[in-house]
Structure 1
Amino acid sequence: MITPLKLKKYDKSGMCQVYDKWPELAKEFFNMNQDSIDFKGIDHMVFVGMGGSGALGDTLFSSLSKTNMHLCVVKGYHLPKTVDSHTLVVASSVSGNTPETLTVLDKANKTNCKIVAFSSGGRMEKYCKKNRIEYRKIPMLNSPRASFPVYLYTMLNILNPVIPLKNHDVIESIRYLEKTRKQISSSNLNDSNPSIDLASWLSGVPAIYYPMGLQAAAIRFKNSLQENAKMHVFAEDIIEACHNGIVSWERPSIVRPILIQGKDDYVKTKKLWKIIKEYFNLNKIDFKEVYSIRGNILSKIVNLVYLLDYATIYRAILSNMDPTPIRSIDFIKERMM
């Protein structure tokens, strides 16, 4: 059980306070008076970012999947060879010090592509100013993962002339965030909170299954479970899993399946979900279902991220842990600088 006292005891940095403000933050930064960019002739985008920034790239990738804009997400050190004068490279590092992103940014600066970078400062800000690269400074709130709406909606604001997303789709996503907040926020610490319900069920090793359109939300959920709840977890496309991964359920294990489904998944994907549930029920495998809202792709992903992220925070609290510290990541970063 989570009480206000227990929440305050373990959420020492106030992560929940930031998450409770996600709808306002999204609205504020999308409507903020910012210098937009309007590079001409862009037909290809490359989003560069790791961790929380990588989740931003995944979200933009899914949101643009049904448009004419091609986008690829780079999580590593190498820039695609397809980059040319019609490419916009978007580099994001909330801390401003991510080695992989800084490496790719430097490589991009040696090509004839267009570049815009986002961070809260750090080495990225200094590099961009020195090399006269388009740069926007955005504050970090609590942590990179908690800053998700601040960065996403600032990017949607600034990149508006380039990306073919309609304003009413963005506004719809914020409106749904407000509705979702009423159900999952820290002011609703009871059984009617779907994020607490999911957090209470989570144990063992969660196996997240998802359709391709909701990959961004599933990967973000995996990452947040690892960072906030400090759990081992894996995620797999449901269609691919039915060609190999499903076989692993023939043996008992501590793995527990979570099925992330879209309200309007493709008809054959819906049939596959039905078969998977039948298989799990016949074999007495306990599973959990999570459904997206109805709406455009951006709305579905952002609201799933909100609900699922909060579940990982509540899981940490239920486990008597502070969700914010990431000592293992700090260990690696200190040695990579």
Structure 2
Amino acid sequence: MTAEQMMEYLYGLPEQFVGSLKLDLAFVSRYKKEYRNIVVSGMGGSAIGGDILRVYAANKTPIPVLVVRDYNIPAFVDQNTLFLAVSYSGNTEETLSAYSQAREKGASIICITTGGKLKAMAEQDGYEVVEIPSGLVPRAATGCLFAPLALLLDELGIIEGVYQELQETVEVLQGMREQLHPGVEAGRNQARVIAGKLKDSLPVIWGTAGISEVAALRWKAQINENAKCPAYYSIFPELNHNEIVGFEVPQELLASISCIILRDKYDNERVKRRIEISKDIIKDQVKEIIEVNSQGESYLARFYSLVYIGDYASVYLALEYGINPTPVKVIDYLKAQLA
């Protein structure tokens, strides 16, 4: 597994959405009912789609969406729950445990996976499976892992407009990749410029609640997995009630921080003001302040435009350190030790 493979995965993200738009979801008619809640179960790269869905659906439906990253599920899960089990490999032990508990509680279950034990269990138990393309690493399959979730809710009549937003997302990302791929020289490649600034620093990513909060989490996780270095994230306006106080000492550590601020034209006006004040507070304490603006009009296009720059920047950061971004040996070691 090479760095070139990861670049190919990134370049192919728009086509993941194109493929998802062609999915046959006719089976959802058997799942149509009045749900009280929606629970998405997943871990790591397979859970990020649930996080996106949670924020995306919050302004589109009164039905709450919860993401479970654990072996156990909440006590409220019952026959009125739509339970979406997501595991790229189909063998994630936490998700398999959560699936079994949801089955025992009588939830309506749909699985999104490439196969594995999850597919086998669902087929044996009579639940539907949305089978997605294999051959990727989970963190590079965000289009395959998110889009089916949103499209399912659209087909169920829980939210609407998903197809149109995904189509715009494809157009925006196709335009962006021509400016971000390795063939674009460093000075004109925003992701490469960001990676150069992040090298030898501690990345701290700031997003905004309800808009870019999951994009900030995604940046953090991608830097962790691809560049193999620590990164942290926080969310406005909450960070103005705690984290912003912590920029006094130790000065040596603060001087190594690069703060990435994810911005969106639809950020709350008060949050926009908070961002400007916060920048002024930390500007003399940190190494860099890097602002990244979203592109597009719909929520999904704007969200994924922020994610896409971060995905590319994390891979370029790995290359800055001379690291192959694709393997995750520590995770493989953990799984082997737990086996």
- After TM superposition, the score normalised by the length of structure 1 is 0.91
One of 165, 175, 181 as aligned partner of 2:160? 165
Q: How many Å separate the matches in 2 of 1:79 and 1:284?
A: 40
Q: How many Å separate the matches in 2 of 1:33 and 1:275?
A: 49
Structure 1 gap segments, 5+ residues each: 1-8
Alpha carbons 1:99, 1:336 under 8 Å: kept: no
Decide which moves more: 98-107 or 258-267. Answer: 258-267
Q: How many Å separate the matches in 1 of 2:338 and 2:99?
A: 17
- Partner SS, residue 47 of structure 2: helix
Aligned residues: 328
- Compute the displacement of 1:24 (Å): 2.2
Q: How many Å separate the matches in 1 of 2:185 and 2:232?
A: 28
Higher relative CO (Cα under 8 Å, sequence separation at least 6) belongs to 1
For 1:93-112, list aligned pairs within 5 A: 93-112=87-106
- Compute the displacement of 1:136 (Å): 2.0
Decide which moves more: 19-28 or 185-194. Answer: 185-194
Structure 2 gap segments, 5+ residues each: none
Decide which moves more: 38-47 or 207-216. Answer: 38-47
- Partner SS, residue 129 of structure 1: helix
- Compute the displacement of 1:10 (Å): 5.5
Q: How many Å separate the matches in 2 of 1:55 and 1:74?
A: 11
One of 17, 20, 37 as aligned partner of 2:28? 37
Q: How many Å separate the matches in 1 of 2:82 and 2:286?
A: 50
- Compute the displacement of 1:132 (Å): 1.7
Q: How many Å separate the matches in 2 of 1:336 and 1:50?
A: 16
RMSD: 1.9
- Partner SS, residue 178 of structure 1: helix
Q: How many Å separate the matches in 1 of 2:304 and 2:27?
A: 22
One of 45, 61, 67 as aligned partner of 1:52? 45
1:229 and 2:224 correspond: no
Aligned to 2:65: 71
After superposition, what is the alpha-carbon deviation per residue over 1:203-241, rounded to whole angstroms, capped at 9, x for unaligned? 321111111121111111111100000011111113222
Poorly superposed stretches of 4+, deviation over 6 Å: none
Distance 1:33 1:10, change over 3 A: closer
- After TM superposition, the score normalised by the length of structure 2 is 0.91
- Compute the displacement of 1:279 (Å): 1.5
After superposition, what is the alpha-carbon deviation per residue over 1:149-191, rounded to whole angstroms, capped at 9, x for unaligned? 1222233344431240312222222221122222212332432
Alpha carbons 1:141, 1:147 under 8 Å: kept: no
Aligned to 2:262: 260
Letter in 2 for 1:275: I
Distance 1:36 1:178, change over 3 A: farther
Distance 1:58 1:305, change over 3 A: same
Q: How many Å separate the matches in 2 of 1:186 and 1:60?
A: 30
